[in-house]
């Protein structure tokens, strides 16, 4: 449903429950389009899931039920606002774990109905895609590299609700590959920070493959790298601490090379699609964007290609409600709202017209 848009300042309450973070935030979008985070609360469930080596959907959903009301009350208190000052309620509707999504959606709809304000069902991927507008005031269009536990994609962000996918992973997502590497090496969950920490103490001394390097398409493939890491680990068993550090360093360096090469191809296609007049900006979003070695590699690539690189701060790359509130404010400013029948979606690609071979919007 579309309502009349307005240029007045908007204050939006955001709710995020798509996986294992229970989050709420209040964000204000000024009349000039600039965003301000008034408050942001993230309640981690990490301790509940670490013993299982990954997220257990049923446990996550129950934890959201227990934590969400308190998170909302805390974020309103920190923003020094009551619900009467909120112009809209935005909640993640997908992609994600259905049980968790239902908790956040139901809560958001109930507040919107009770207060008589618009409700916005937010695509979690769109929230990542739009975060640079909140942090850097970035306008459209720009190139997005989305790297998270469930997604590895390059897309052209043309406007709110307008996305063109250039490339995606043909197998594992980047965050998934880090988690599997960590599990293989006995480093626990979550895998990304654990691998990065060990890599800092190791050497890039083990030869690992760089799948898809030099290919004309911009797609990714990480399963072969993961398999090669397993073979190298088995060949060195039992692993010493230095073996583990070297395996992590070599794996991380291979990832940096792969992502740089694939991003370079996406940059070329971006220019071909939009012409050389398009602003040369690469935005990197998603939890894996917090990896320092990957950021260094992309900074080097951006300088070489004369692109501006934008990486939001780590707390806005991982799951959070500030990006949900901002996406809601962006949509609300254009008069785009949803009715209370908006469903929870396990799958919700940003570009539904893309070829099925390019993967679906699945949040792991």
**Which domains are delineated in the chain?**
10-136+316-354 (3.30.420.40), 142-315 (3.30.420.40)
Question: Taking the model in full, what pTM does it have?
Answer: 0.92
> For residue 61, how many other CB atoms are within 10 A of its CB?
17
- The answer to whether residue 228 scores a pLDDT higher than 70 is yes
Please report, to the nearest 10 degrees, the dihedral formed by the alpha carbons of residues 225, 226, 228, 233 taken in order.
140
Give the pair of three-digit tokens for residue 322: 């500030």
Give the pair of three-digit tokens for residue 299: 């900074």
- The answer to whether residue 93 scores a pLDDT higher than 60 is yes
Which has more pLDDT, 55 or 213?
Answer: 213
Q: What is the mean pLDDT of the chain?
A: 93
Q: What percent of the chain has pLDDT over 90?
A: 85
Give the pair of three-digit tokens for residue 12: 């939006």
The pLDDT of residue 362: 39
The pLDDT of residue 81: 98
The pLDDT of residue 4: 39
Contacts of 320 (CB under 8 A, 6+ apart): 16, 21, 23, 25, 40, 42
Q: State mean pLDDT over 59-74.
A: 96
- The answer to whether residue 311 scores a pLDDT higher than 60 is yes
């Amino acid at each position: 449903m579309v309502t009349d848009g307005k240029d007045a300042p908007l204050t939006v309450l955001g709710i995020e429950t798509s996986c294992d973070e229970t989050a709420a935030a209040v964000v204000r979008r000024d009349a000039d389009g600039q965003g301000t985070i008034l408050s942001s609360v993230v309640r981690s469930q990490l301790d509940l899931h670490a013993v299982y080596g990954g997220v257990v959907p049923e446990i996550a959903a129950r934890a959201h039920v227990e934590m969400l009301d308190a998170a909302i009350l805390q974020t309103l208190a920190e923003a020094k606002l009551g619900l009467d000052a909120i112009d809209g309620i935005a909640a993640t509707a997908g992609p994600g774990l259905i049980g968790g999504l239902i908790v956040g959606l139901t809560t958001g709809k109930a507040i919107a109905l009770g207060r008589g304000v618009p409700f916005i069902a937010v695509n979690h991927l769109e929230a990542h895609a739009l975060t640079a507008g909140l942090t850097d005031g970035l306008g459209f269009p720009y190139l997005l590299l989305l790297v998270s536990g469930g997604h590895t994609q390059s897309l052209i962000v043309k406007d709110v609700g307008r996305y063109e996918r250039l490339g995606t992973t043909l197998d594992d997502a980047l965050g998934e590959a880090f988690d599997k590497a960590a599990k293989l090496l006995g480093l626990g969950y979550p895998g990304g920070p654990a691998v990065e920490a060990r890599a800092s103490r190791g050497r890039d001394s083990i030869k690992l493959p760089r799948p898809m390097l030099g290919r004309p398409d911009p797609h990714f493939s990480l399963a072969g790298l993961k398999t090669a890491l397993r073979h190298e680990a088995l060949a060195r068993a039992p692993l010493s601490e230095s073996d583990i550090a070297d395996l992590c360093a070599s794996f991380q360096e291979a990832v940096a090379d792969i992502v740089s090469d694939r991003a370079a191809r996406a940059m070329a296609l971006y220019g071909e699609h939009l012409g050389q007049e398009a602003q040369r900006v690469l935005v990197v979003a998603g939890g894996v964007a917090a990896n320092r070695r990957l950021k260094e590699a992309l900074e080097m690539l951006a300088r070489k290609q004369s692109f501006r690189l934008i990486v939001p701060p780590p707390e806005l790359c991982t799951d959070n409600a500030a990006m949900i509130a901002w996406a809601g404010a962006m949509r609300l400013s254009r008069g785009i709202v949803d009715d209370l029948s908006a469903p929870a979606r396990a799958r919700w690609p940003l570009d539904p017209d893309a070829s099925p071979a390019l993967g679906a919007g699945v949040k792991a």
